[in-house]
Chain A
Amino acid sequence: MSSCFQTLSDYGLRSIGYGERLLPKADITLCEQFVLIGSGMIWNIYFAILALLFGFFFATVLALGKNSKLFLLNAPCRAFIFIFRGSPLFIQFFFAYDLFVLLPRLGVDIDLGFLVVTVETRWLTKAWLGALIVLFFNTSAYAGEIFYGALRAVPSQDLESADAFGFTGIKKFRRIIWPTMLRLAWPSYTNEAIFMFHATTLVFFTGFPAWQQKGDAIYYASYFADKTFNPFVPYPIVGFYFILLTLFIIGLFGLINRQLNKHLPTNERKRLKINKYNLMR
């Protein structure tokens, strides 16, 4: 047991470069597999949370754009959503990586006041930025389509009441349209969030290299499966971690769902029920 604590301190943060440098090679223990795969989960969570966070706002913009009557606004939004929803994420990763590699290697200094950061195009070929951008665009497109559908489903009475009360412009959107849109979209958006977490497992199987063997959960799982030639241990461990994560997301999004529905009379409130036969990807 004490050796397992040792393993935890050696490999607990291995995926982000702290602790033991060499991965276990021989006599791999169950504890090592659990710890290292868990360490890899840091990357999955990092990618999914940032992509979902940025994607949420961009998706709102895309949905509004697609709903716009101006061709100049709705055409690019439609095209963006079509391209990212119509092609496999796996190919998008490869395509983006190979484009990023072709970029000239430049550095731009950005003065933050207290320190100067050199933003380099080279970063785009690294998973932490390049893959994050692909995931961000991807989830924006999927969520944008969900939000667009919900936007079209906002009841016209709500809009009429808003007009009657003198709401206009930004205020009408922020106080009336946006909350209703979110409420209607929420079950589907929960589904999208779950699939986004699952999609992060693709990152290190595409062009993006795992530098110094800093990879995500499934990167380490396939490493162990290769080394021990026994798939029956590492893959169920990944499955275990992801089931926990999925349950956590459902719980969290359920809470937000309650918040979004709280103004409704009790009999109209909907519990978050993930629509089983309407897969969003």
Chain B
Amino acid sequence: MFSYCVDPKTLEGLMWLSCYVTTTKHMSFYYSFFVVMGLLSLAAPLAMAFGFAGATAARSSLKIVRALGKGYLAMIRGIPDIVFFLFIPIALDQAFEYLRHKVLCSDVTEAVRQGNDFVVCAAAKLPLNTASEWVHDIYGFSLALLAFGFVFGAFAGNVLSGAMAAVPKAQIETGEAYGFSSSQIFRRILIPQMWIYALPGLSNLWMILIKATPLLFLLGIEDIVYWAKELGGIKTGVYEYPHPDWRAWYFGVLMIFYLSLTYLSQSVLDKLSTRLSKGQATMAGKAV
């Protein structure tokens, strides 16, 4: 980074530190913070979409759709989310490869599952063996993103279905009395009215989502946890910048990062809640 960093062994004190924290590996560490923020900003809308679909399905008049929707919302309450984070990416990966294998290599007759192996032809591999590094990264990240969307979609679905149920019955009945069709009631009355009831749950969910982002590490992505472990570990004299076990420091930095993120979110969400409560017929609304 700096011109005086050519020979780190000769440096001391602040000079050494300034060179140490600007190595290429540290740059990757800083970059991974953006990966976390990227995941947050993509996973939140994805989870809302999944959740909305789940909550709507749980209210459907078709029995099968309703059962599917309710099952989706209920499952997250019984099974730890980590199970899904481990299961979904590898399951999706195998499902995609299996489908591609069936379509692209229809001439191969051997079974895909042979004992403890999962064999698909080279053309069905995802990403292709010839693909460059960044394609692999993007593919891994997308699978992780889908897992987050699925799990947090189930949480969001619970929040939204609770909020839909909290909309006063009288409002729906008024809509019916005016001759609204059921889809009109859904669009014009239920959806606009439910947000204020959904807000506390959704704010909470946002905090849970923030606190779930380090699980990216479990999915084999080079995220902040990976780099903290990597950079903090003991570096012997072989390395350019030798140091003892500094992992506790690195994880301390991550603690501070997450604490400030949740603190910041909380104050923004509190303000939002005050603003949305204005004019509502609730205790909070009257207080303003």
Which of A's residues lie within 8 Å of B, judged by CB? 26, 28, 82-83, 85-92, 94-95, 98-99, 101-102, 194, 197-199, 201-202, 205, 218, 221-222, 225, 227-232, 235, 238-239, 242-243, 246-247, 274-281
Contact (Cβ within 8 A) B87 A276:
no
Q: Does B155 contact A (CB under 8 A)?
A: yes
Considering the complex, which residues of chain B in the window 150-192 have a beta carbon less than 8 Å from any beta carbon of chain A? 155, 158-163, 166
Considering the complex, which residues of chain B in the window 113-171 have a beta carbon less than 8 Å from any beta carbon of chain A? 113, 116-118, 155, 158-163, 166
User: In the docked arrangement, what's the CA distance between A188 and B78, Å?
Assistant: 16
Contact (Cβ within 8 A) B201 A277:
yes
B interface secondary structure, majority:
helix
Q: Residues of B contacting A82 with CB < 8 Å?
A: 259, 263
Contact (Cβ within 8 A) A279 B159:
yes
Q: Residues of A contacting B212 with CB < 8 Å?
A: 88
Which of B116, B159, B208, B212 counts the most chain A CB atoms within 10 A?
B116
Contact (Cβ within 8 A) B78 A239:
yes
Contact of B228 among A88, A94, A99, A232 (CB under 8 A): A94
Known contacts A26-B116, A228-B116, A276 near B83 by CB under 8 Å: no
Q: Does B63 contact A (CB under 8 A)?
A: no
Contact (Cβ within 8 A) B215 A278:
no
Which of B's residues lie within 8 Å of A, judged by CB? 75, 77-83, 86-87, 90-91, 94, 113, 116-118, 155, 158-163, 166, 197-198, 200-201, 204-205, 208, 210-215, 217-218, 225, 228-229, 232, 245, 247-248, 251-252, 254-255, 258-259, 262-263
Contact of A201 among B83, B161, B198 (CB under 8 A): B83
A interface secondary structure, majority:
helix
Contact (Cβ within 8 A) A87 B255:
yes
Contact (Cβ within 8 A) B245 A102:
yes
Known contacts A232-B91, A277-B201, A279-B155, A198 near B225 by CB under 8 Å: no
User: In the docked arrangement, what's the CA distance between A280 and B208, Å?
Assistant: 9
Contact of A89 among B205, B211, B263 (CB under 8 A): B211
- Nearest first, the 3 A-B pairs at minimum CB distance are A277-B162, A198-B80, A98-B248
Q: Residues of B contacting A225 with CB < 8 Å?
A: 86, 90
Nearest A-chain residue to B160, judged by Cβ: A277
Contact (Cβ within 8 A) A231 B213:
no
Q: Residues of B contacting A194 with CB < 8 Å?
A: 77
Known contacts A99-B248, A194-B77, A277 near B159 by CB under 8 Å: yes
Contact of A95 among B91, B159, B160, B248 (CB under 8 A): B248
Contact of B83 among A229, A235, A274 (CB under 8 A): A235
27 A-B Cβ contacts within 8 A?
A: A87-B255, A91-B254, A94-B229, A94-B251, A95-B254, A98-B248, A101-B245, A101-B248, A194-B77, A197-B80, A198-B80, A199-B80, A218-B80, A225-B86, A227-B116, A229-B117, A230-B116, A230-B118, A231-B86, A231-B87, A239-B83, A242-B79, A242-B83, A279-B158, A279-B204, A279-B208, A281-B211
B58 smallest CB distance to A (angstroms): 11
B96 smallest CB distance to A (angstroms): 14
User: In the docked arrangement, what's the CA distance between A89 and B86, Å?
Assistant: 17
Q: Residues of A contacting B161 with CB < 8 Å?
A: 276-277
A183 smallest CB distance to B (angstroms): 22
Contact (Cβ within 8 A) A91 B258:
yes
Contact (Cβ within 8 A) B118 A229:
yes
Contact of B262 among A86, A227, A235 (CB under 8 A): A86
Contact (Cβ within 8 A) B163 A246:
no
Contact of B258 among A86, A221, A230, A280 (CB under 8 A): A86
> Given A202-B82, A218-B82, 19 other A-B contacts at CB below 8 A?
A26-B116, A88-B212, A91-B254, A91-B255, A102-B245, A194-B77, A218-B80, A225-B90, A229-B117, A231-B86, A231-B90, A232-B91, A239-B83, A242-B83, A277-B166, A277-B201, A278-B200, A278-B201, A279-B204
Contact (Cβ within 8 A) B78 A95:
no
Known contacts A235-B86, A246-B78, A94 near B117 by CB under 8 Å: no
Q: Residues of A contacting B166 with CB < 8 Å?
A: 277
User: In the docked arrangement, what's the CA distance between A229 and B115, Å?
Assistant: 9
User: In the docked arrangement, what's the CA distance between A184 and B86, Å?
Assistant: 36
Known contacts A91-B258, A98-B232, A281-B208, A276 near B225 by CB under 8 Å: no
User: In the docked arrangement, what's the CA distance between A99 and B118, Å?
Assistant: 41
Contact (Cβ within 8 A) B159 A83:
no
User: In the docked arrangement, what's the CA distance between A278 and B116, Å?
Assistant: 43
Q: Residues of B contacting A232 with CB < 8 Å?
A: 91
Nearest A-chain residue to B90, judged by Cβ: A231
A174 smallest CB distance to B (angstroms): 31
User: In the docked arrangement, what's the CA distance between A243 and B76, Å?
Assistant: 10
User: In the docked arrangement, what's the CA distance between A231 and B98, Å?
Assistant: 14
Nearest B-chain residue to A85, judged by Cβ: B262
Contact (Cβ within 8 A) A247 B251:
no
Nearest B-chain residue to A205, judged by Cβ: B218
Contact (Cβ within 8 A) B214 A242:
no
Contact (Cβ within 8 A) A95 B86:
no
Q: Residues of B contacting A281 with CB < 8 Å?
A: 204, 208, 211
